[in-house]
Structure 1
Amino acid sequence: MNNVIYKPVNAGIHVVVFRTILKKEKSNNPKKIHQGKCKSVKKVIAEKTLDGWEAAHAWSNQFLV
């Protein structure tokens, strides 16, 4: 799942698109190797600074899948 953050900056609006995934870590205990903990990982997939809100929304909508 993709998420978007909009940040107003001097040159316009900076948009960061990131994907949030759950990553399972292996347990250190050999007897419980399959009982790893899940942790949320954010991976940035796109960044851009745009002039206006309309442009920022239009650009980021292509990543919201």
Structure 2
Amino acid sequence: MRLEFDEPKCVAAGQCAMVAPDLFDQREDDGVAIVLESEPDAEHHDEAREAAAVCPAAAIRVVE
């Protein structure tokens, strides 16, 4: 699995960081998401899928 993140689409809602804190964080200055792990291990696959599903801007794409 690989995570693709379209930063210009990010609206800084923070949903990804809330549901998958091992995979995402937010920048201090503007709240835009930061991908911490673009190729998560199997134990984080469900979190990755949930983060993509809850992103209001559809800025996260999961490539299986």
Scaled by the length of structure 2, what TM-score is found? Answer: 0.26
Scaled by the length of structure 1, what TM-score is found? Answer: 0.26
Larger Rg: 1
Higher relative contact order (CA 8 A, sep 6+): 2
> Which has the larger helix fraction?
2
